[in-house]
Structure 1
Amino acid sequence: MRSVKFFIVAGAASLLSSMACAADMAIAPPPMGYAPPPADFGGWYLRGDIGFSNQRVDNVRNTNPALYANLTSFQEKTGFDTGGIYQIGAGYQFNHWFRVDVTGEYRGNTNFHGLDLISFPNGGATGFGSDVYNAQKSEWLFLANAYADLGTWYCITPYIGAGIGTARVTIANFTDQGVGSLGGGGVGPSLVSAATGSQWNFAWALHAGLAYKVNPNMTVELGYSYVDLGNGTTGVDSAFDHSAGGHVFQFHNITSQDVKLGVRWNLESPPAYMPPPLVTKG
């Protein structure tokens, strides 16, 4: 009988000890829901770019058709020096692959050089002559652009894009120094100059490049653009001896292959990611 009482007392003591230990333990709260980490894209951004141009023009012609009427041959070589490009813009990133922006760009003065080699009838013989052109050209270019980002590898995102807009092309300091007479008269030197002229054109561009995300707020771009700037025109021309003039020289189909280095600043930083709370014992 004494052993039975001993086992009953021991069992009761063990039960009371377990209940006291359980009372000391904190009740764990149920798991709390939390939002997934925010996407690292979206929102408004600003951009700035600098670069250089590689330009060409199809041909340069005076608007007086009589100057070309009696030519038996005509060869033309033209070219531009490299010019600086300075661009600013603002845009919106819709998702991880599509964004749009508008840009304003000043394309600095570039020197133009041209050479015409001609032949023409001169009495019973053939006359030969040449014209050497010099000028300066600059533009303002405004485009609305759309881009497709093609995926990201090691923080580098290749992209393609296209833009449409308008360009104001300015031709200044134009001179035409020639030997010979395009109309078939006597051979002799001539010098024609033209006033500064500007015109607005429809413009379009194709873009491609690589973007590197430095941090969530800053992306660096190395880009290429093919740009069609339309036509350019001088002001009214005049000969140094006032023997001719009253027309303009037209630059037909000016295009450029541009390389630019730019930075995009995200104006809407993503919120910081907060991990779920840890569950601890009291």
Structure 2
Amino acid sequence: MRNNKFTLVLAAALCGISLPALAQQADTDKGIYGVGRVGATFGTGQKLGSLPDRSAFSADSDYKPGITGELGIGYDFGLFRVEQTAGYTQFKPKASSGAIGNTDAFTVSVAGYVDIPTGTRFEPYVGAGAGAARVQARAAQSANSLSSAYNGKDWGFLWHADAGVGYRLTSKMTVEVGGRYSQIGSLSFSGQNNTINTTYHPKLNTWSGAIGLRYRF
């Protein structure tokens, strides 16, 4: 019985110490911060959905690994952060797809992140965001006397989900390593299918990894 009482008293004491400590840490972490990230894309795929008859394009195609990066500013509320970022991502189709061309996406998004306190310098995080992407795309493919192509610029809807871990270098500076799944849709490009004018609606699905640096002012 005495052991049980001692355990309860000890647990209550630890809670009394840890909760104020977490609250104090969250309070000192508040403020505006800048962030920069750079990384690579992998496992990028494009879906064209419904295609016209006798199209040289495939409904699904894969892209080579590409580059990605973003800069932004955010506000840290303690255990929750809000960011606004602007970024750039480049895609090129794999040679095995039979298509040639390239796709560039300039993005703007707003995201929210939850930091998970561990009592150490390591701090995992999860989050998600949404925004818009200005996509410039050019693609062409020929096969079995068929030819399809599109070329143009359009704004699309962007959303992404993120997870990673941050490491506190100093009280103001945190380096992070994270992964992201993103999707860009609602795009429309004019093109041709066997010399007949048509419209294509590609959707891009991308996995990426990046290293970043956050600095709280």
Please give the TM-score of this superposition, normalised by the length of structure 2: 0.77
Residue 41 in structure 1 maps to residue 6 in structure 2? no
Counterparts of 1:112 and 1:161 in 2: how far apart (Å)?
30
* Residue in structure 2 matched with residue 78 of structure 1 by the alignment: 61
> Larger deviation: 208-217 or 225-234?
225-234
Deviation of the 1:113 alpha carbon: 5.1
Counterparts of 2:146 and 2:47 in 1: how far apart (Å)?
24
Deviation of the 1:263 alpha carbon: 0.3
Counterparts of 1:83 and 1:175 in 2: how far apart (Å)?
19
Q: Is the 8 A contact 1:113 1:135 kept in 2?
A: no
With over 3 angstroms needed to count, the CA separation of the structure-2 counterparts of 1:104 and 1:48, relative to structure 1, is same
Per-residue CA deviations over 1:184-241 (Å, capped at 9, x if unaligned) read xxxxx344443x21221221111100000100121101011111111544433275xx
- One-letter code of the match for 1:217? K
Percent identity reads 23
Deviation of the 1:67 alpha carbon: 3.7
What is the count of residue pairs matched by the alignment?
191
Q: Is the 8 A contact 1:99 1:148 kept in 2?
A: yes
Counterparts of 2:95 and 2:187 in 1: how far apart (Å)?
15
Deviation of the 1:112 alpha carbon: 5.0
Q: Is the 8 A contact 1:79 1:113 kept in 2?
A: no
Extract unaligned runs of 5+ from structure 1: 1-36, 69-73, 116-131, 180-188, 268-282
Q: In angstroms, what is the RMSD of aligned CA positions?
A: 2.5
Deviation of the 1:61 alpha carbon: 5.1
Give 1 or 2 for the bigger CA radius of gyration: 1
* Residue in structure 2 matched with residue 34 of structure 1 by the alignment: none
Residue 136 in structure 1 maps to residue 102 in structure 2? yes
One of 176, 188, 193 as aligned partner of 2:141: 176
Residue 248 in structure 1 maps to residue 199 in structure 2? yes
Counterparts of 2:128 and 2:92 in 1: how far apart (Å)?
25
Counterparts of 2:137 and 2:180 in 1: how far apart (Å)?
22
Q: Is the 8 A contact 1:219 1:265 kept in 2?
A: yes
One of 125, 149, 170 as aligned partner of 2:115: 149
* Residue in structure 1 matched with residue 46 of structure 2 by the alignment: 57
Counterparts of 1:139 and 1:198 in 2: how far apart (Å)?
10
**Runs of 4 or more off by more than 3 Å in structure 1?**
37-40, 59-62, 65-68, 74-77, 111-115, 190-194, 231-235
Q: Is the 8 A contact 2:93 2:99 kept in 1?
A: no
Per-residue CA deviations over 1:60-90 (Å, capped at 9, x if unaligned) read 654xx4447xxxxx97552101111120000
One of 83, 88, 92 as aligned partner of 1:101: 83
Please give the TM-score of this superposition, normalised by the length of structure 1: 0.61
Residue 266 in structure 1 maps to residue 216 in structure 2? yes
Counterparts of 2:45 and 2:188 in 1: how far apart (Å)?
15
- One-letter code of the match for 1:246? N
One of 110, 118, 121 as aligned partner of 2:92: 110
Matches within 5 A, 1:14-25: none
SS in 1 for 2:205: strand
Residue 158 in structure 1 maps to residue 124 in structure 2? yes
Counterparts of 1:57 and 1:190 in 2: how far apart (Å)?
20
